[in-house]
Each structure stands twice: as structure tokens, then as C-alpha cells.
Amino acid sequence: MSIRFRDHLNLAAVATAPGCSRMFARATLTRWGAVDVVDDAMLVVSELVTNAVNATGVSGPLNWAELPPLSLLTVRLVALDGSVVIEVWDSSPTEPVARTPAPDDEHGRGLHLVGHLARRWGFYPYRGGKVVWAELPLRPPGPGGLPKRRGSASSSSPPAGAAGRLSLDPQIFRRLIDGLREL
């Protein structure tokens, strides 16, 4: 398999890292044209980065005086011919373990989700820590891409049932404006 694209993001291992990694994954995969895998990739990268933060980072809010030295993590996306690989490096050498949570546990399902969404996943030691990776398959494009939309006389009208929702009621706007002024 040949590498078609690759990109990475270095982050501090703090509570905001999963959100930043999701935005990075969405923007990168959209730029690459791999939009069919964006939702799954955002979930997988979020789970892997959350695990990395839990293993090496600061999980709760701290003020500057209490801030310990920050660990770093790296999120890397690699586009292959038929898949996208998500890799997350952190400084903890502890191997990830998919555990079986109790039904009322709030945590512990992340690697099960990754295993369900990914073609395959794993980890390997790297630079004193580890890389946890997951490979998401890309769906091949259909023949000729998306179907062409056929025009019709009614194509400019709203969908059935939407006509009533599109009416502009001045009273609704007045109440909205008055409500906003009260804030």
C-alpha cells in the first residue's frame, strides 16, 4: 500500500485535546476528500486521544500555579489507497487494554468502539511511550461519482410538508426580538 497523504498534530495532554483532535480530523479528512469516513474517524480519534490524556495528562481544571509539567501527544492521520490510519502517540509505555465495563460504568467502552469501527487496531512501543492506531476502511467511490440531479418543474419548490414552516410570521420575529432585548 502506498501513502497518499499524511498530516499530524502535536497537542498538550490536557482535557481539551480530544476536541482539538476531532476538529483536526474533520478538517484534514475533508481536505483529502475522505468525507465518508469523517464521522467514524472523529469518534476513533476522540477515544484514542482521551485514553492518551488519561494515561499521561492533566484531566481536571488547574490554575497556572498548580500546573505540572505537561506531557505531549501526537495525532497522525495517514491516507492509504483504501483506508485511513489514525495514530496517537503518548509518553506512557502502558499497553492499552480493552476491558469489559459493567452496564452502569461511565468509562471503559472506548477501545470496544474503536474495534467495532476499525478494520483493525493495535499498538506498538515508540520513543519511550506507545502509538495506538486504528485503520478505517474507505468506501470505494461509485461508478461515475454521485448521480446527477434531474431537474423538474417542481425542483424549486420546497419539499412536501415544508411549505407551512417557511411562512414568515411577523409576530414570531417581534417576540424573538423582544426576547433577545430582555437578555
Low-confidence winner among 65-69, 76-80, 119-123, 145-149 (lowest mean pLDDT): 145-149
Residue type at 60 in one-letter notation: G
User: What mean pLDDT do residues 142-147 have?
Assistant: 51
Is residue 27 included in any domain, yes or no? Answer: yes
Are the CB atoms for 24 and 9 separated by under 8 Å? yes
Is residue 124 included in any domain, yes or no? Answer: yes
Is residue 104 included in any domain, yes or no? Answer: yes
Q: How confident is the model at residue 133 (pLDDT cuts 50, 70, 90)?
A: very high
Query: Nearest Cα to 85, choosing from 133, 47, 44, 38?
Result: 133
Strand order in the sheet with 83-90: 5-12, 72-79, 83-90, 129-137, 120-126
Are the CB atoms for 94 and 75 separated by under 8 Å? no
Q: What are phi and psi of 140, to 5 degrees?
A: -65, 145
Is residue 146 included in any domain, yes or no? Answer: no
Range of the domain at 91: 5-137
What is the number of domains present in the chain?
1
| Residue 129 β-bridge partners | 126
Is residue 153 included in any domain, yes or no? Answer: no
- What CATH number is attached to the domain comprising 22? 3.30.565.10
Which range has the top average pLDDT, 20-34, 68-82, 103-117, 139-153? 20-34
Is residue 155 included in any domain, yes or no? Answer: no
pLDDT of residue 154: 44
Is residue 22 included in any domain, yes or no? Answer: yes
pLDDT of residue 170: 67
Rounded to whole angstroms, how far apart are CA atoms 4 and 73? Answer: 23
Residue 63, SS3? coil
Is residue 144 included in any domain, yes or no? Answer: no
* 70 has a pLDDT exceeding 60: yes
pLDDT in tens, 12-67: 898 899 999 999 999 999 999 999 999 999 999 999 999 999 998 766 666 666 66
DSSP per-residue codes, 137-163 = EPPPPPTTSSPPPPP-TTTTSPPTT-T
